[in-house]
Amino acid sequence: MKTVVASLCALLAWLLARDRRRRRLPGRASIVSPRHCTLVAPDGSVHSVQSAHLELPSARLEELWNPAQLENLGRTYWRFLTKATLGIVRVRYGRHERNVVLFSRPLTLLRFDPPRYVLERDHASITWAIRDGLLVSRAGRGSGYLAIRVQRGSTAGEPASLDVDVEVANFYPSIASRLGTPVYRATQAVVHVLVTHAFLRSLARLQLAESRIGRLRDLR
């Protein structure tokens, strides 16, 4: 009985500490995508979207809404992936590609083309076309993309808001082609959703990592 009570007290303390940390953050992020947000088409292609609603001070939004910070958002995503996997998964930057590797090459899980950026008055996006990799089936090479999209909410009053989506589309996972869709849903798909949700929540810190490439650094 004492062990159960101690465990419950420890859990309560952890939850309270987590809530205090969230209250201290400069922004607030809430996951708004439905629980089942990964769809597998009859041809084996995957479409998955994870979404969050982010509230932040309007002054911070204006500071972040520029080309350099959009590029930094992409770097923040890749850095978070490495931290979330304790360094097992890493990103290697090439002039004409981005490689997501298991520890190091040649174990390339995913290879992407360089990102395409769009920044308008009320929306922005980063899109990486999927080239190939160990996680991509032969039939899916050269298909699909990964994208981060940001939509500004109303600018009147405080706080300001952003809707952020992380989308994977037309992706053909090799694990599904080899072991079946149920195995993909129970493994790779679950990991992707959990990591992406954690990334979206982390945006409440309003701290973006500096881009390794800096292609948009001098643009305003």
- Structural domains in the chain? 27-205 (3.30.530)
* Side chain identity, residue 39: L
In the predicted structure, residue 148 carries a pLDDT above the cut 90: yes
* Side chain identity, residue 213: I
The dihedral region occupied by 86, where left means phi > 0, alpha psi between -120 and 50, and beta the remainder, is left
When pLDDT is cut at 50, 70 and 90, the band that residue 14 belongs to is low
In the predicted structure, residue 219 carries a pLDDT above the cut 80: no
Q: What is the pLDDT of residue 220?
A: 65
Tell me how long the chain is.
Answer: 220
User: Is residue 124 a contact partner of residue 163, using CB atoms and an 8 Å limit?
Assistant: no
Task: For residues 92 and 205, give the distance between their C-alpha atoms in angstroms, rounded to a whole number.
Answer: 25
Q: What is the DSSP string of 77-114?
A: HHHHHHHHTTTSEEEEE-SS-EEEEESSTT-EEEEEPP
User: Is residue 169 a contact partner of residue 40, using CB atoms and an 8 Å limit?
Assistant: no
In the predicted structure, residue 159 carries a pLDDT above the cut 70: yes
In the predicted structure, residue 79 carries a pLDDT above the cut 90: yes
User: Is residue 141 a contact partner of residue 123, using CB atoms and an 8 Å limit?
Assistant: no
Q: What does the CA dihedral 205, 210, 214, 220 come to, rounded to 10 degrees? A: 40
Task: For residues 220 and 217, give the distance between their C-alpha atoms in angstroms, rounded to a whole number.
Answer: 8
In the predicted structure, residue 163 carries a pLDDT above the cut 90: yes
Mean pLDDT score, 61-86? 94
pTM (2 decimals)?
Answer: 0.85
Mean pLDDT score, 181-204? 94
In the predicted structure, residue 174 carries a pLDDT above the cut 80: yes
Mean pLDDT score, 98-127? 93
pLDDT digits (tens, 9 = 90+) for 17-70: 555 455 578 899 999 998 788 999 999 999 999 999 999 999 999 999 999 999
Q: What is the pLDDT of residue 186?
A: 92
Task: For residues 204 and 219, give the distance between their C-alpha atoms in angstroms, rounded to a whole number.
Answer: 25
